[in-house]
Amino acid sequence: MQGVCDRLNAKGEETTLLLPDTVIRVFVQHFDQFPRSAKEAIPMLRWKLKKSVPFEVDETLISYMRQAPREGGVDVVTALGRLRIVREYESAAEQCGMQPGVVLSASLAAVSLLADRRPALMARVSGSSLTTAIVRDGVLCGYRCTELPAQVGSLTPQMLLEEIYPVAAYYQDTWQEGIQSVRVAGLGGRLPEFVPQLEKEFHCEVHSLLHTAISEGRISADARPLAERELEGLVGWMMQKG
């Protein structure tokens, strides 16, 4: 990180940290009623998520946003991370003379690339983890991060499908409609091996997340080099910030 900051001659600037998905847990929850003030909302979310994280919720940083519900009530997207771990990343930036600002998981940033009014599923592989997200007309309908049984080089289409299916099934049962497009990231040149089985399962088109955004002209010229290196999290954050 210090080497990058030196090459960019960057110091004292506010920095966005895109962290591994396993660091930032994300939940989409429905409430019949939800407090307007953060002072009341944060304790409610901590209590609600107490059994959903493998550490004490009192040790977490938590952020949330309201979004349009499928029906009555309120849908809330909550992101939380263990304070000690987040501070380690922030400290690394501070030691390089930077000021940590936004802290976000890489896949939450990449979700911005799903610009479709139809229900679209994103499957993003990073190392041995898979993040599956479903977005419908700007609304995050489902999100799940799991450990894959193999690294990308040894991953099979069936292995990937088995990890994706629970989120897709939940969406289909809850929203009473099927997935209408699938966007994949992190498989690199192996993507064509996975397309036939994914298309057979979901009965829709399956394409690269970044290549689709490029072909639709949604990625600016200054973000193209990042897209060519398959840094979808950074590209998605640039779209959010812009």
Measured distance CA(66)–CA(41) in Å, rounded: 11
Please tell me the predicted confidence (pLDDT) of residue 220: 87
**Phi then psi for 58, rounded to 5 degrees?**
-70, -15
- Round the CA-based radius of gyration of the chain to a whole number and report it: 18
- Using alpha carbons, select from 63, 61, 65 the residue that is nearest to residue 77: 65
Mean pLDDT in runs of 10 for the chain (242 residues)? 91 92 93 93 91 80 91 91 94 94 94 88 95 94 94 94 95 92 95 96 95 89 90 92 62
Structural domains in the chain, CATH included, are: 15-106 (3.30.420.380), 114-241 (3.30.420.40)
- CA–CA separation, 1 and 11 (whole Å): 12
pLDDT at position 209 is 95
Length of the chain: 242
CB–CB of 135/164 below 8 Å? no
Tens digits of residue pLDDT in 168-223: 999 999 889 999 999 999 999 999 999 999 999 999 999 999 998 998 888 988 89
Whole-number pLDDT of residue 117? 82
pLDDT single digits (tens) 232-241: 999 999 988 7
| CA–CA gap between residue 147 and residue 151 (Å, rounded) | 10
* pLDDT for position 69: 85
**Predicted TM-score (pTM) of this structure:** 0.91
C-alpha pair distances (Å), 239 with each of 223, 225, 234: 9, 14, 9
Cα 29 to Cα 142: distance, rounded to the nearest angstrom: 9
Phi, psi of 209 (to 5 degrees): -60, -50
Q: What pLDDT score was predicted for residue 116?
A: 73
Cα–Cα distance for residue pair 235/191, rounded to 1 Å: 20
User: Helices then strands (H, E): number in the chain?
Assistant: 9, 10
Q: From CA 32, how far away is CA 21, in angstroms rounded?
A: 29
